Structure 1
Amino acid sequence: MKRIALVSFLMCLVAFTSCKNNQKVNDGKIPFDFDWKFALNDHPGAEQPGFDDSEWRLLDVPHDFSIEQPFDSTFTTGAGGGYTYSGIGWYRKSFITEKEFTDKKLTVLFDGVYRNSEVWINGHYLGIRPYGYSSFYYDLTPHLNPTGEANILAVKVNTTEQPNSRWYTGSGIYRHVWLVAKNKLHINQWGVFARTVDANENEASVDVSIELSNENEADQSCTVITKLIDASGNEAGKSESKIDIKAGQQLKVEQNIQIENPALWSVETPNLYRLQVEVRSDDLVDSYASSFGVRTFKFDSNKGFSLNGKHLKLKGVNNHHDGGPLGAAVFDYTHKRQLAILKEMGCNALRMSHNPPSPELLAYADSMGFVVIDEIFDEWMDGKTPAGYSPHFEEWYERDVENWIKRDRNHPSVIAWSVGNELREQYNKDNALKIINMLLEASRKHDDTRPFTLACNEIVNFNSFGVLELLDITGYNYQEAFYETDHEKYPNRVIFGSETVIYPYHPGDCWQLRSYEQWLEGQLEDYVAGEFLWTGFDYIGEAGIGEVGTGCEFWKTWPTWPWRGADCGVVDMCGFPKPGYWFRKALWNNEPMVYIAVQTDESARDREICSFWNWPKVEAHWNHDKVGDTLAVHVYTNVPDVELKLNGKSLGTRKWDLKQEAFLFFEVPYEPGKLEAFGKTKDGITVSFAVQTAGEPAKIVLTPDRKTLKANGQDLSYVTVQVLDTNDVPVPFASNMITFEVNGAGKLAAVGNGNQQSHTSFKGGKMEAYLGGCLAVVQSTDKKGEITIVAKSGALPVATATLAAE
């Protein structure tokens, strides 16, 4: 067999792929995101190599062509899709067949294309993928042109049929693309499965399975070497197997690695090893590498969840996949920023609603310390939308399930697989039993080490069907009222709140009624493994969910346009924490704190009345139209004593106890000045928070969250834009239209604000302030140098900030 050392081969491929600066090549997996040609609408013949695309736009992926268009109430995506554009988009990419491809297998791997993607190579049809959240790949090898000639990869995306989702999906190649080069003897795509068998502080046992394929015409002999490398670069454990594999054969190699004194992975200390697999036959033939965490976990019907033998209450959120103003085309740093915001709140768990996430999001969950419930479907065969996944379910579910589990199963963060959310089959016993058995059979063959679940919003039905007895753990959506009775009736059932509303008090006599005492039970009782708020971040689509004032009549009077998205998160879509965030931080984070939020609307006068999915209309400012009006003041805290002062005068000290009330509620006559809260812990530590009356807008201040970016074409800095008065107090009523420009080695990726009724384009270079601020997202190019962002608004002084790309 002709052997080419893989290391040398990959060095040659760097030139071929036209990778941007600082793009890493790893294990034959080469970034393929750059220099695509794109055009909206259908273009018959665009799959053919000779098609003239000279007038097409040159761009990089990830790319979302829906978010680039204006919001429009006539778009057929409707309220569910946030009144965004849908249609057909074509992508084409040219690349050269290099001599290093001789005797190699070349595949293209898509992390995600929404949706109905069809792919061609040099005019040869490779296939279609209806589901927009699956990762998938195609073998290009048989259709490559001879050495030195150009190849054309063409992708057609079609989101015309609407509505096809209950939330915003985006359109296009919205996740990364990779070119994967392998020898004919190779490790299969997602063919390595590592799992902790047992672990404690003294020792650990890790099993590793490696799927190999031999596409050579002759039998092969090789050695498979698997190592775990610790954070210091030292070998922590190793296993080695000598293998004979016949021509055309696929086989699985089973290995075990023993580790002494392992560094265990947890949410507090997310220690990671590097899992490294090499296939050698004299030279290096193939390799695989990923991070790996050594940990054990357990769900118990009485004790909830434990990680490495220690009880851990799941303090989680649900999130949809969009990145706010970026739409569905989310870059890696966006995930990191979102998780950092949630981590600061005290969040330790994520539920991927309601589809497989990007691989990068799971990688950050691994490295930052979150546990994850990884979910695949929002509907099975009985669809929720006219053009959703249900028509494709029977044909595609096995392939989508296989790719989902095999892709994600090496992540230590993943603690459970969810096969569905609020399925309409909960109204049909026979179909429910049939499909859950189909899904479990298809899933468990790829991972039998993690529990399987689904999320129920009609728990009474599934209780009567016997479906939940087939699962390992049970997700309750807005069903806290059933926790106690179901725990008694089904003593072996593991219960967790797969979706819970963010506000602790229930909005009166309505759907899924639950009391404060039942909410408190979910927070304090160990048998409830934890909860996942709906949601962590506001999102595009499901327009109007969370509108304050709709209360329990929401289902009868669903608010639509001018709403563009859901207002139910504890963080707005730009990443700015809302009042509910600070309440959760007080509840979930042990750091002593106090926070003030003040009524901005009469709907906030009654603490126990609120929209089902939102928070009362309160904000952290002290501006009001009329002196003397009595305003409701929320104080969120985790300390037992809080004193409130207005302009230095005490308004009294109150005791706080979660078992009595979720937060302190004051009524304060308004007068301009400063409102302050002082909290004192049992140990005498004092914490404080203040809001101050703001004057008229005087200036704009730009605050980048990062001042140094990688010059790789995909790095981001999120720039907070604030309108301040002459005393540097944020002006909450400021709504200035602010225009942005970016010069130098960067570009403006998006702008946005937290107003879910704004229709200003995220891509238009200007945005109005909302609650005194907005957001600008700066993206690096492949050039090194200085980046300057400039903000202008009427007569206010021009604001600038400087970054660097290195």
Structure 2
Amino acid sequence: MNRRELFKGASALGLAASTPGFVSRAVAATTSPSVVAPVASPRQVLLLNKGWRFFAGDIPFSPIIGHDATYDAAKAGAARGAASPKFDDSAWQPVTLPHDFVSFQPIEESGNVDQGYRRRGVAWYRNMLRFEPQDDGKHIELQLDGVATFATVWFNGTLVNRNWSGYNSIYIDLTPYATYGDQLNSLVVRVDAEAMEGWWYEGGGLYRDAWIVKRNPVHIKTDGVFAHPVKDEHGWHVPVEVTIYNSGDKTETVRVHTDIGDEKSPAGTRPGGTKQVSIAPLGSTVVNYDIPFANPHLWSVDTPHLYQVTTSLTSETDAVLDQVTTHAGFRTQRFDAQKGFFLNDQPVKLKGVCLHQDHAGVGTAVPDGVNDFRLRRLKSLGCNAIRFSHNAQSKELMEACDRHGFLVMAENRNFNASPDYMAQLEWLVRRDRNHPSVFLWSVFNEEPMQGTPAGYQMVRRMSSVVKSLDTTRPVTAAMSGGLFTPLNVSHAVDVVGINYQQGQYDPFHAAHPDKPMFSSEDSSALMTRGAFVTDKKAQVLASYDDEAAGWGETHRDAWKQIDTRDFVAGTFVWTGFDYHGEPKPFNWPSNSSYFGIMDLCGFDKTAVHIHRAQWIKDKPVLGLVPHWNWAGSEGEPIMVMACTNAEEVELFVNGKSAGRQKTDKYEMNRWTVPYAAGRIEARAYNSAKVVSTVINETTGKPVALRLTQDRPALIADGRDAQPIMVEAVDVKGRTVPLANHMITYEIAGGAIIGLGNGDPISLEPEKGNRRSLFNGLGQVIVQSIEAQTGTLKLHATAPGLKPADLSIPVKAGPIPQSQPTRA
């Protein structure tokens, strides 16, 4: 059983295709039926997450004095101090990647508010790699998927890379510097996390995976296959672009071949594309051909069907030199300035959320299993689109969006047309342009220059870079102003994204009736999960959707402005989940945001019920708030809110009707009733028939804990992880909504990697084995141990409550092969 089979709701295979009006790629092709079954690629992709040693703080280089020292320091391989291969790091802390060192820091008032009051600073990572003698002659590449924030990399004492963003991957050719056999190779990364690129929690360190990729000298470059299906007047076809590099010392002639298949029609059973090319030493070439494809299964948000694209290089003697498998999805997309967005020629209103990449307990080092949990939670809302704010995400998360059927607005981090930053934009497009989920390229968010000629000129250049690599999706930008100046960014993009400014929808559409537009960011509504009385002194905001930031709107109002206008293609709500940092409207001790539809753990706020009622059309939904535990408030008025997509809704208090109302699909429905212990019940009706019922009861005192797993099992690969929900329950097993007990955890057969509870003002550590519940709920994230199958056992205790135990099967599964290190 593989990991994908364990993820609920994950699709098997499927992906996406074209955009009429944005398709223009010249192709020269030879097609031929393939009769050769795919073979194992000779390339090795090795995980480099083990063997690292970590030092928190900087280790300054000592001054260079004297001619000989100055001369030596100017030479390759002569790095000094902690960058030197000879440096003794035996006292450093052993760590395994991904590693967000900021997530381990205490929350301190002297820290930066937007970073969640956690200190960042400078840190060092060192590793020692062993390459076998048989690796000599291979092309060896280091891939660091994400380093926050600025990075300096040395290999065997030579400075091999400086990187200026915490969000792009770093690819480094190690071949010229590598040694083989018993002489180990020194890899050192200095991370400067004092540098900040955003106003949210960014974490710090090697917070994504690291890899070593070993290939034949003649090979397909990293991110070197582009195979995104398109549909034109001749039908479906797949233009294929393959970039090949030869790091060897002689000219090589190779055959390039691509097959496309899925589970029903494996690769090799349809026509493929083939070309023969010669590549000079240290040269690269781009090969293009076109593959016709009849009657594909389409990728959509409801049926995200993916195809495998297998591209091979073979020698003149038919030896396989390299092979790469990417995915593709067949779909069309277009924006209409009057009617919005169309996917596969069907109108689709964008029901999207903005997301930062962190999660409770783990910071930015989010395991794939937790990201899968987050995506499934969003699907449960009726969400069909994600804007990744405001930066590139991990490749694994992008692949998960393909599988789950999300439309992705892929956003560039830095608005800058200088070479370093244009290279980051180019990397983003090259890496992600095969994903069917990607339907928009965003070049910036809320830039002060957006309404100026200079901003216009910068976007012209950035858009040109995007379209030199991909003409199948439009370019956009998230504009928070400057829409009506004589020359502004809206004149340089294909589709205009508007942040907030909902009063400008109609004037902008009237001024530019041929310009497609959408809400790239809206709402910024504020609520504390599980709280229903506002106490701003205590930094608590009631969850009735009555509070919003000064620049924003409530969830209800924002959606009404979009849903009632066909020409507004859809929404991206700020935000899907709470996130560390930016705790507006408060400061200390608040250290995470209040904006989320869900809290930092992914637990429901009232906004979940609102958006389900707004966005889900194919089944009846009903949500009811608040809880009904109001001891001491007997007889006092309590606001009750029901959220449903049904025609009518009726509230009952202790069995007596408080009134039946016609549903207001935008404002939802409310009653004010005197509190009396017992229960409230909402009934939703269609055609006078009850289609859904929800009951909230007054609970007893908490008597026990309960643990609920997210998925039925884990894979024993040392990477698979899942969140566990923790509740305090009464004697009838009902969650006690005001319980805030301190919970202590013990684990066997696995590891605890993070703790959370969704409380934005909690100062408790998110690491360790103790954390309080917040309004009845808590979360503990557990992870498997590599090659240790059997059972993960979690034990939770709290003073005065019956303990809870949970057993999760840990099953054998594929374990990524790792690069040998000193560990």
Question: TM bucket by the smaller chain?
Answer: 0.7 to 0.9
Map 1:683-722 to 2 at 5 A: 684-722=689-727
Q: Aligned to 1:774, which of 768, 778, 800?
A: 778
Question: 1:483 aligns to what?
Answer: 505
C-alpha distance in 2 between matches for 1:505 and 1:772: 21
C-alpha distance in 1 between matches for 2:624 and 2:461: 51
CA positional deviation for 1:509? 12
Secondary structure class of the residue paired with 2:706 = strand
Q: Aligned to 1:296, which of 316, 329, 332?
A: 332
8 Å contact from structure 1 (residues 306, 312) kept in 2:
yes
Secondary structure class of the residue paired with 2:509 = helix
C-alpha distance in 1 between matches for 2:39 and 2:184: 24
C-alpha distance in 1 between matches for 2:453 and 2:516: 24
Structure 1 runs not aligned, ≥5 long: 1-5, 11-26, 382-392, 546-558, 599-619
C-alpha distance in 1 between matches for 2:302 and 2:649: 30
Alpha carbons of structure 1 residues 455 and 508: separation in structure 2 relative to 1, 3 Å: closer
Q: Aligned to 2:135, which of 87, 101, 115?
A: 101
CA positional deviation for 1:249? 2.6
Alpha carbons of structure 1 residues 186 and 426: separation in structure 2 relative to 1, 3 Å: same
Question: 2:403 aligns to what?
Answer: 367
Q: Is the counterpart of residue 208 in structure 1 residue 240 in structure 2?
A: yes
In the superposition, the TM-score normalised over structure 1's length comes to 0.87
CA positional deviation for 1:7? 7.5
Question: 1:40 aligns to what?
Answer: 56
C-alpha distance in 1 between matches for 2:434 and 2:556: 39
Q: Aligned to 1:241, which of 275, 279, 282?
A: 275
Question: 1:470 aligns to what?
Answer: 492
- CA shift digits 1:578-615 (9 cap, x unpaired): 110111011111220221112xxxxxxxxxxxxxxxxx
CA positional deviation for 1:483? 1.0
CA positional deviation for 1:510? 5.6
- CA shift digits 1:545-587 (9 cap, x unpaired): 4xxxxxxxxxxxxx21001011111111111111101110111
Question: 2:435 aligns to what?
Answer: 411
Map 1:49-128 to 2 at 5 A: 49-75=85-111, 78-128=112-162
C-alpha distance in 2 between matches for 1:529 and 1:323: 29
What RMSD over aligned residues (CA atoms) do the two structures have, in Å? Answer: 2.2
Map 1:508-527 to 2 at 5 A: 511=551, 519-527=559-567
Alpha carbons of structure 1 residues 107 and 515: separation in structure 2 relative to 1, 3 Å: closer
Alpha carbons of structure 1 residues 54 and 98: separation in structure 2 relative to 1, 3 Å: same
Map 1:431-510 to 2 at 5 A: 431-460=454-483, 463-501=485-523
Q: Aligned to 2:572, which of 532, 539, 549?
A: 532
Q: What is the identity, as a one-letter code, of the residue corresponding to 2:45?
A: K
Structure 2 runs not aligned, ≥5 long: 1-37, 61-80, 526-543, 812-823
Map 1:663-678 to 2 at 5 A: 663-678=668-683
Question: 1:732 aligns to what?
Answer: 737
Secondary structure class of the residue paired with 2:380 = helix
Question: 1:608 aligns to what?
Answer: none
CA positional deviation for 1:358? 1.0
Secondary structure class of the residue paired with 1:587 = helix
CA positional deviation for 1:685? 4.6
Alpha carbons of structure 1 residues 146 and 465: separation in structure 2 relative to 1, 3 Å: same
Q: Aligned to 1:315, which of 351, 354, 361?
A: 351
CA positional deviation for 1:684? 2.7
Secondary structure class of the residue paired with 1:356 = coil
Alpha carbons of structure 1 residues 672 and 443: separation in structure 2 relative to 1, 3 Å: same
8 Å contact from structure 1 (residues 37, 92) kept in 2:
yes
CA positional deviation for 1:188? 1.2
C-alpha distance in 2 between matches for 1:567 and 1:467: 31
Question: 1:596 aligns to what?
Answer: 624
C-alpha distance in 2 between matches for 1:781 and 1:516: 44
Alpha carbons of structure 1 residues 515 and 707: separation in structure 2 relative to 1, 3 Å: closer
Secondary structure class of the residue paired with 2:429 = helix
8 Å contact from structure 1 (residues 739, 765) kept in 2:
yes
Higher relative contact order (CA 8 A, sep 6+): 2
Q: Aligned to 2:258, which of 212, 216, 226?
A: 226
Question: 1:191 aligns to what?
Answer: 224
C-alpha distance in 2 between matches for 1:401 and 1:175: 19
Secondary structure class of the residue paired with 1:539 = coil
C-alpha distance in 1 between matches for 2:83 and 2:212: 19
Q: Is the counterpart of residue 171 in structure 1 residue 199 in structure 2?
A: no
Alpha carbons of structure 1 residues 196 and 464: separation in structure 2 relative to 1, 3 Å: same
CA positional deviation for 1:255? 1.1
8 Å contact from structure 2 (residues 100, 205) kept in 1:
yes
CA positional deviation for 1:792? 1.1
C-alpha distance in 1 between matches for 2:512 and 2:197: 37
Question: 1:651 aligns to what?
Answer: 658
In the superposition, the TM-score normalised over structure 2's length comes to 0.86
- CA shift digits 1:420-472 (9 cap, x unpaired): 00001135x132123212212332222222100100111445x4324212100
Question: 1:284 aligns to what?
Answer: 320
Q: What is the identity, as a one-letter code, of the residue corresponding to 1:151?
A: N
Question: 2:632 aligns to what?
Answer: 625
Alpha carbons of structure 1 residues 28 and 7: separation in structure 2 relative to 1, 3 Å: farther
CA positional deviation for 1:502? 5.9
8 Å contact from structure 1 (residues 643, 651) kept in 2:
yes
C-alpha distance in 2 between matches for 1:173 and 1:156: 10
Q: How many residues align?
A: 730
C-alpha distance in 2 between matches for 1:7 and 1:638: 51
CA positional deviation for 1:286? 0.9
Map 1:733-752 to 2 at 5 A: 733-743=738-748, 745-752=749-756
8 Å contact from structure 1 (residues 67, 85) kept in 2:
no
C-alpha distance in 2 between matches for 1:473 and 1:731: 48
Map 1:140-151 to 2 at 5 A: 140-151=174-185
- CA shift digits 1:321-358 (9 cap, x unpaired): 11222101011111111010000110000001000111
C-alpha distance in 1 between matches for 2:113 and 2:647: 44
Secondary structure class of the residue paired with 1:72 = coil
CA positional deviation for 1:766? 0.8
Alpha carbons of structure 1 residues 624 and 654: separation in structure 2 relative to 1, 3 Å: farther
CA positional deviation for 1:534? 0.2
8 Å contact from structure 1 (residues 478, 501) kept in 2:
yes
C-alpha distance in 1 between matches for 2:800 and 2:154: 54
C-alpha distance in 1 between matches for 2:441 and 2:197: 23
CA positional deviation for 1:216? 2.5
Secondary structure class of the residue paired with 1:187 = strand
8 Å contact from structure 2 (residues 104, 766) kept in 1:
yes
Question: 1:611 aligns to what?
Answer: none
CA positional deviation for 1:137? 0.8
Select between 710-719 and 95-104 the one with higher mean Cα deviation: 95-104
